[in-house]
Structure formats: C-alpha cells, structure tokens
Amino acid sequence: MALTIAGSDCSAGAGIQADLKTFQHFGVHGLTAVTCIVSESAKVVRAVHAVPVAMLRDQVSLMLDSFPVAAVKTGMLFSAAHVQAVAELLATQPRLTLVVDPVMIASTGARLLEPEALSAYREGLLPLARLITPNLPEAEALLGAALTNKSTLAPAARCLAEMFGTNILLKGGHLDGPDCIDLLVSDGEVFEFSAPRLAVAGSHGTGCTLSAAITARLALGDTLPAAVAAAKSYLGDTLRHSYQFPSPAGGSIHALNQATRAFPAAEVKIS
C-alpha cells in the first residue's frame, strides 16, 4: 500500500487524484491524506483552502495505524505548519519509504507553497526522505543558486544529496533542448535518464504522476534506479497518449492518459 499526502485537484489532473490513478495502474492500493482543497484546472489555480493541521495529522496517523503502508509520498503541503506536522509524524515511522515531491509552483505559475515553509522542508522533512524529486525551479530554491544548463545538473544533484543526506532525482525538463534529461543520485552513483522532448502543450500533473509512479514501484520492492526507470517510462507513455478537449470557457484542456501500459526503460550510469 502507498499513502499520498497532497492537495486535492478538482480537475483530477494533479494532486491526490493523479496519485491514485497512478497507484492503481501499478496495482498498488492507494491511501490519501488531504492537505489542501485546490480550485484549479490545467489553466488556472483560482483558490486554495488549507485543511486544518489537526485534521491533516488525524488523517495521516489514522492511515498509518490502520493499514500496512509500505511507501509514502508528499506533494503539495502548502504551509510551514503542514510540513512540520507531516515531518513529526513520519519521523516516528523510520521503516517507511518516503518520496518527497517538493511542490512549490503550479504549471500555471501559481505559488503552491508559502515562502516560510521552505525552511521547514529543509530542516524537518527532506532529511527523512529516501528520494527527493525537485524540478529545476524547486532545486534552485533549495540551493539558492541558478541552474542554467545541462552541465550544472550533476553538481547540483550531488550537492542536494549531500545537503540532505538522501537520494535526489533532479528533473531537467525546464532546460531547452531536444531531450529531457533527469539525473538520479542514488547512494553516490549518478544515473542519467534521457528521452526525446514530446510536443505536448499545457501538460498538467506530470510531476505528481512521476513521483507517484516511483512511490508505487518502491512499494512493490523495486530498487531506486529501477523504480525511476519504470516511472519515467510510464510518464512518457501518458504524455504520448495524452489528449485535449474543448473547454466551455474557450480554448482547450489538456489531460494525461493514465490508463496506458508502462514499459520499463533502460537505465544508464554515468560518472
């Protein structure tokens, strides 16, 4: 079983909805603890309502007490108080595999993390993780430095791994170029995952889907490189089979197809 601690996306493209669909694909029973209710679509984040911290605590503790949870992932946590509450609960569960997707900014550009929550991430939650999955803007916020080209990825990933004493999947999709390159630092080794950039406009929920897929594979017993390879393959498949439909408000809405079959990708180790 896997538990996602994240926000609720009413458009079902990201957040706990995307996580549950991904868990289901891999045959993993999914549990949820909702941190925020978000009124959003692939185009706009219109409102965020944070769940009371006491309610979040109760959801997480009840799930951990009631089910044989093998892996946990966190997504949108929103505030320092929410981050601290989750960190305090998970610190008492060292047997759990924790994947942290440090959600800070939506694909629309809307801020999904209060600025003061960053220190709570650094001090409380990230050191508990088996894997952290930042994209480039999130890595820049954690490092306090700009990452502008491929040559900066490996040093940045190694620095983050050392800083928090954990493994890092640094997602390089924000860089320009024909390929999307992600770097995994796992137990000091660096693995590169490269795939051709797909011409998909307005994708929504890719980060949630990727981290949920990794969490599911880890819950099933995969090694970390194998889990990332399978998750990358699954995300690529959802993007290749994604679709669009007209919106009554005008324009079109893009959606990932999360009912496709995943094929594990080869992993490549570099120095």
Tens digits of per-residue pLDDT, 58-85? 999 999 999 999 999 999 999 999 999 9
* Of 241 and 7, more confident: 7
Please tell me the pTM assigned to this model: 0.91
Model pLDDT for residues 161-193, shown as the tens digit of each residue: 999 999 999 998 767 666 788 999 999 899 999
Angstrom distance (rounded) from CA 271 to CA 268: 10
Domain at 2-270: CATH code: 3.40.1190.20
- Three-class SS of residue 231? helix
| Structure tokens that stand for 195 in this block | 């795939």
Please state the rounded mean pLDDT for residues 126-143. Answer: 94
Compute the average pLDDT of residues 205-229: 96
Higher-pLDDT residue of 270 and 224 is 224
Whose CA is closest to 172, among 145, 122, 134, 208? 134
Is 268 a residue whose pLDDT tops 80? Answer: no
What are 2-59's pLDDT values in tens digits? Answer: 999 999 999 999 999 999 999 999 999 999 999 999 998 888 889 999 999 999 999 9
Q: How many helices (H) and strands (E) does the chain have?
A: 8, 12
Average pLDDT score over residue span 196-207: 76
d(CA 107, CA 105): 7
